[in-house]
Amino acid sequence: MDLPVIIAGAGPTGLMAALVLGKAGVPVILCEAEPGLTHDLRAGTFHPPTQEMMAPYGVTARMHETAIPVRRWQIRDRRSDLVAEFDLGLIADVTPYPYRLHIEQHRVTPIQLDILRAETDVDVRFSHRVVGFTQDDDRVRVEVEAGGKSMTIDGAWLIGADGGRSAVRRATGIEFEGFTWPELFVVVSTPYDFAQHGFAMNSYLSDPVEWAAIFKVPDDGPPGMWRAAFPCSAEESEESLLDPASVERRMQGLVAKPEPYDVRYKSIYRVHQRVAKDFRLGRVLLAGDAAHLNNPIGGFGLNSGIHDAVNLAEKLVQVWRGEANATLLDRYVRQRRTVCIEQVQRMSTMNKRMLEERDPEVQRQHLLELVAIANDPQRARAHLLNTSMITGVRNAAAIE
């Protein structure tokens, strides 16, 4: 009897891996610790290659029913307003999706789950927490807690897609190398329309004291919601940071207006910059946040997880069917870990440091360089290929 692939975590990464495997006829058991899909308010940007990867499985078309296509994005400066604007139309010749697609993560996972249940035989088990495993040459025995009881499920392979605090990664003993950024991040959502002040629906505001990342998401429907993320001191209490007066001050710093902002949601989270030392231990593989974490500037985290899921699952289909040797999975590790370190981690760190640069002259040079890039179609095109993650996907595919 062919053993199933077991996946820990029903976030976008785990669901996407299950969808690729399930559509190929590979038996899958998907275990999620929570009683249902989680309501994550942080991620919401899908880059062109991510849309391409999800399209064959019906996810991209469903996303487009409510999502907002964002072709232009901006770098702004709190003191001098607009610095540079980039138009993804410049790369329309290399992708059918020359725009960022904005839709909240918690609106995408139900789409993935719906397709999974309608079109595959994947066994989805909520309230099933993967806590550990043992393995030998022909199987992995996954330890699961459900309903106050412990059980063991035998599988051919285990994919750890169970987030930044991954129990699967901890059980492997693989080191999670990197660091945690010293500041906290406050995220605020409002229906106030920043477009009337010239803001693109994806804008990054540089400032040596308090930078911000701003983008629009569809919410429950028109007119949508604008979301702003700010850095803040970890020395302040969460109560103080979420105090209405503190939130109002930050929002007024974006665009001053006489009446208070209508704040619909506000939350705090901590940001990490980490990569697992390896993405594989025998029959156990890591993907998404379980394998790597980065700051949110540029929208790389969620997208990288989807790229991991599709890359890994496509290879695992071949291995499970006996069409390829298990060493093919080491190529997944080489491809995704290399690109994660050389591009995703590097670009997200560079983006954050550029926005928060405190030296006025260094900041001025950064901004002048962005202006020069935006005004040169060839350089702008190369920049868009990088920031849209197309270059990263191409580079990964070239790794043997």
Mean pLDDT of 332-358: 77
Residues in a beta bridge with 66:
none
Mean pLDDT of 243-259: 95
DSSP H or E run through 391:
helix 390-397
d(CA 348, CA 395): 17
Residue 381 has pLDDT above 60, yes or no: yes
With H, G, I as helix, E, B as strand and everything else as coil, classify residue 325: coil
Q: Which CATH class is domain 5-68+104-177+273-355?
A: alpha beta
Residue 240 has pLDDT above 70, yes or no: yes
Mean pLDDT of 37-55: 90
So what's the pLDDT on residue 332? 98
So what's the pLDDT on residue 364? 77
d(CA 6, CA 154): 8
Closest CA to 116 of 6, 46, 21, 3: 21
Cα–Cα–Cα angle for 32, 174, 38, rounded to 5 degrees: 20
Mean pLDDT of 74-101: 92
- pLDDT, one tens digit per residue, over 60-70 is 999 999 999 99
Mean pLDDT of 142-162: 97
* pTM of structure: 0.94
% of the chain residues with pLDDT over 70:
95
Sign of the dihedral defined by the CA atoms of residues 90, 92, 94, 100, in that order: positive
Which two three-digit tokens encode residue 30? 């998907």
358-381 burial by CB neighbour count: b if 16+ within 10 A, else e?
A: eeeeebeebbeebeebbeeeeebb
Could you tell me the CA-to-CA distances from 380 to 3, 98, 256, 299 in Å, in that order? Answer: 49, 14, 32, 18
For 357, list phi and psi in degrees, rounded to 5: -55, 130
Roughly what angle, to the nearest 10 degrees, separates helices 360-374 and 377-387?
110
* Length of the chain measured in residues: 400
Cα–Cα–Cα angle for 207, 212, 217, rounded to 5 degrees: 155
So what's the pLDDT on residue 348? 63
- pLDDT, one tens digit per residue, over 168-190 is 999 999 999 887 877 888 999 99
Strand stretches in the chain, DSSP E = 5-8, 28-32, 45-46, 68-70, 72-77, 81-87, 100-102, 123-126, 129-135, 140-146, 149-155, 157-160, 176-190, 202-206, 212-217, 225-232, 265-276, 280-281, 284-286, 292-293
So what's the pLDDT on residue 292? 94
d(CA 173, CA 281): 9
d(CA 196, CA 68): 17
Enumerate the domain spans of the chain.
Answer: 5-68+104-177+273-355
% of the chain residues with pLDDT over 90:
76
Could you tell me the CA-to-CA distances from 39 to 30, 102, 162, 186 in Å, in that order? Answer: 18, 16, 15, 17
* Contact in structure between 354 and 206 (CB atoms under 8 Å): yes
So what's the pLDDT on residue 359? 76
